[in-house]
A and B are shown apart, each in its own frame.
Chain A
Amino acid sequence: MTKITPEDRAVVVRFAGDSGDGVQLLGSQFAESTALSGADFSTFPDFPAEIRAPVGTTFGVSAFQINLGARRISTAGDQPDVLVAFNPAALKVNLGTLPKGALVILNTGAFNARNFAKANIEKDPRETGELSDFQVIEIDVSAQTLEAVKPHGLSKSDAEQCKNFWALGCVLWMFGRDRDPIKQWATKKFGTKAPEALIGNIAALDAGHAYAETAELSAEIPQFVVGEAPMEAGQYRTITGAEALSLGLAAAGELAGKQIMFCGYPITPASSILHYLSRMGELGVATFQAEDEIAACCAAIGASFGGKIGVTSSSGPGIALKTEAIGLAVQTELPLVVINSQRGGPSTGLPTKTEQSDLYQAVYGRNADTPVPVLATAGPGDCFDGAIEATRVALRHMTPVFLLTDGYIANAAGPWTIPDMDDYEPILHGAAPKPVDDPVELKKAIWDRSGQSLGRPWVSPGMKGLAHRIGGLEKDIATGDISYDADNHQKMSEMRAAKVAAVADFIPDQRVEQGPQKGGLAVVGWGSTHGAIHRAVSVAREQGLEAAQIHLRWLNPLPKNLAELLAGYDRILLPEMNMGQCATLLRDKLGIEVVQLNKVSGQPFKVSELVEAIAANLPAKANVKAAE
């Protein structure tokens, strides 16, 4: 039996099959098992855009990738070391991603003429030499599963459904894992509802495990030895970005002592936030599915006027529709959280693929001078804090706030230290004034902005003695009455700019995450590239290539010390999943030049391509140092 201790202490496993093969369930259960083993991990599901694509086709392939290791893991991995392919189509679409020497487990039960035809494969790839660089293990998973499940009286089609559990059993053996937690989970899930499925799945799980352990073939099936990762003590759970963001909004409501009114409209990849929140009623959350994106934003603003925390969410095309309403929230100085789960564009673009190309839209994308604070989340767990911070700023400054996330973060998952809610400060806002008789004094009190944040008191209909009118027309800076006065408009425009600039007084200084505090190369990133950049900079530094990592949470305004901090480096490398939007922003706001690294393939950055870029961009001095 071969025991493999992976070189860089991590293994990337990818499960791929038809949408109906249960690949996502297989992957998520393997991830659960990984969590219990003490290894760190990061997962990424890769769904087809079609809902029920024809069986056996390449565009119907659903995949789940997990990177697990005895070290801290920050991405779902560049290339699979292990591929489990349930049919020829799954092999075909993933073949190009495999490194030399990868282990490929094929379900030969699906390798037949019919499935080759469906996947447009002319010749059985097992016979063409295409697989000669890999270690291939052929198992008729379909037949093995039927065999194992047959004694329990399941129909052939029901029995077929158990093959993901068979494969799971096999993989659990490969990683030396305990089956009991999976069985407990299955009992809970299927127990009383589908007792036959439970029996079948457990039989398949055991059979897969036994097969790997005892079959003659098992000499070929290697076992991976991955130890525990050094992780801080604490309570952990697995979380996706969408779930963390939803819980973060609920937490923000709790911290503010207010209800969250989430108004959305279905759009990929943002819908999962609506789904999660619609199940969080007991946490002071209510959700409204509006008739369109515009209505969703308007209803959220209406809710904010009514004293609830209005939140709306979408992806780029939907945000475009909300734009006019966001301007109204700026003009009326109402709080609003706008979440953008970015995806590939323009137009409908690549709905299920990730991109960071709505930064211009968030920072610059409105008519007139309409500044809005913008922040971005760096990873799945970080969405929790991002949502709290966005809400805090919205209420403190009485402004809409853009919270940028993306399709990758929304669906990716990893272990997350469960935060202690006592560590968070309450979320505050300007209190409504006391009613006064003089109508002019009353208006002035309603628009009396805080000297620090420029946030005005939050006054809502129903409050006694404070009736007033708000609207989209320019208003007098003191009384809020309609005003077309030239000087006043100048003052109001300056006030709106100053308000967003004031956010910088409340956010922490930009810190250097790793590497030198100045000199040489700084890799600057924002949003979901964090994991890949983090790993790449670590790897580069291990290789003696000195580079620093700086990751931006705030894009508008930028942290006050950022200009000085970045000026201390000889060169800035800025990888982003767009054509250079953050690069433009830094050029615009700080007047600095950066080396752009732009990727718009719909796929996240690979660590290897970032390490290469770091090596290629080291300033001369740093290179010399590395050579020494």
Chain B
Amino acid sequence: MNAPLTAKDFATDQEVRWCPGCGDYAILKCVQKTLADVGADPDNTVFVSGIGCSSRFPYYMNAYGFHTIHGRAPAFATGLKLSNPELDVWLVTGDGDGLSIGGNHLLHVLRRNLDTQIMLFNNEIYGLTKGQYSPTSRPGTRSPSTPAGSIDAPVSPCAFALGANAKFIARGIDTDAKKLSPVLKAAREFKGAAFIEIFQNCIVYNKDVFDDFVAKKSAAENQLHVEHGKPLTFANGTKGLKLNPQTLALEIVNVGDNGVPEAETLVHDETNRTMAQMLISLPMATYPMPLGVIYREPNAPSFNDAFWKAHATQGKRTGKVADALRKGSVWTKT
């Protein structure tokens, strides 16, 4: 028997060309290790990407890879997965690639529920084109194209995914492999479109933009790691979320000695779409950032399964063209 593969076996001989300190390195390592952990087969795994820094990802993965064109990776992945549903297909995209030029395709791959993992590296900036503001940039972002600060309201990737009827929505942080890896595993196991927003630090053009909740010293206070069936608590269990039935809003409450008993906090139900909506919509300034698997609806059919089930012969060639040519009215000249 061959020795089990290690993270190294998923690396290629290509020199990685991201900027030193880029969050992409950490994600790459985490994905390589996760695939080794789950015993993935490189020959059966495909990474499909669009254009942008994140989209260089396939070149560095020892698996099949397709670096396509800007924003269209979901469409390539759809054709690929339909042509061979046995493949384990991963999509790598960014906030510009996936939500600006490729917003349309992201919408459709999610609503169709194609069985694929979609990693959206969100760094709230265009990196590869040297720092212009992106559709997830916060208003007022100063960039080469917005010297006076950007004016558009940003899109929330997870809210977009939920609106598109995604059946699996999760969040992770580039450098937090311990928490990101289980999310990637769950996404891989999910039979449908698994959307993962990964907060990724662009060290050159948008350094530490997520420090509000990523910075180590305040992480416990500002990160809410959700887990199905577990209470929605944070700050080492001293705070939690509670539903205010009057306002239908989540409120932060103290838990334990100085507050309510833990049993009164809301318990995470990843199958509850309303709860997912509330968690995704929490205002960043005053609430912790929900991370982990926020929403999962496991029983919906995947597009690839439904596609071949609906096909007249489930993809088998049962007829001959010679016969099809003679269907209908045929006459003979002698």
Contacts and interface: CB of A to CB of B under 8 A. Distances in A.
A418 B326 CA distance: 8
Interface stretch (B61-69, B252-260, B293-301): B61-69
A310 interface: yes
A295 B77 CA distance: 10
Interface string A259-300: 101010000000000000001111110101011101110111
Given A302-B76, A302-B83, A461-B84, A470 B67 contact: yes
| Chain A at the B interface: SS class | mixed
- The residue in B317, B326, B328 that gathers the most chain A C-beta atoms within 10 A of its C-beta is B317
Contact of A282 (B12, B107, B313): B313
B330 A467 contact: no
Interface residues of B, number: 62
Interface string A326-351: 00100010000000000000000000
B333 A301 contact: no
B79 interface: yes
A267 B44 CA distance: 36
Interface string A462-478: 11111111111100000
Interface in A65-92: none
Contacts of A300: 79
A434 B208 CA distance: 47
B78 A295 contact: yes
Nearest to B108: A291
B83 A235 contact: no
B64 A281 contact: no
B59 to A, nearest CB: 5
B324 A299 contact: no
Interface residues of A, number: 71
A575 interface: no
B186 interface: no
B58 interface: yes
A469 B66 contact: yes
Contact of A463 (B43, B62, B83, B330): B43
A254 B320 contact: yes
Nearest to B60: A469
B75 interface: yes
A46 interface: no
Contact of B78 (A288, A328, A460): A288
A32 B329 CA distance: 8
B21 interface: no
B163 interface: no
Contacts of B285: none
Contacts of A292: 104
Interface in A213-268: 231-238, 247, 250-251, 253-254, 259, 261, 263
A6 interface: no
B105 interface: yes
Contact of A234 (B79, B84, B319, B332): B332
A443 to B, nearest CB: 9
A481 interface: yes
B330 A418 contact: yes
A324 interface: yes
A283 B78 CA distance: 22
Closest 4 interchain pairs by CB? A471-B67, A302-B79, A281-B312, A306-B83
Given A259-B317, A303-B83, A463-B43, 12 more contacts: A259-B83, A290-B78, A295-B78, A295-B104, A299-B75, A302-B80, A305-B66, A306-B84, A307-B83, A419-B325, A472-B67, A482-B59
Interface of A: 32, 35-36, 38, 231-238, 247, 250-251, 253-254, 259, 261, 263, 279-284, 286, 288, 290-292, 294-296, 298-308, 310, 324-325, 328, 332, 418-421, 439, 460-473, 481-482
9 contacts: A235-B332, A281-B312, A290-B108, A292-B104, A298-B105, A307-B84, A462-B84, A467-B63, A469-B67
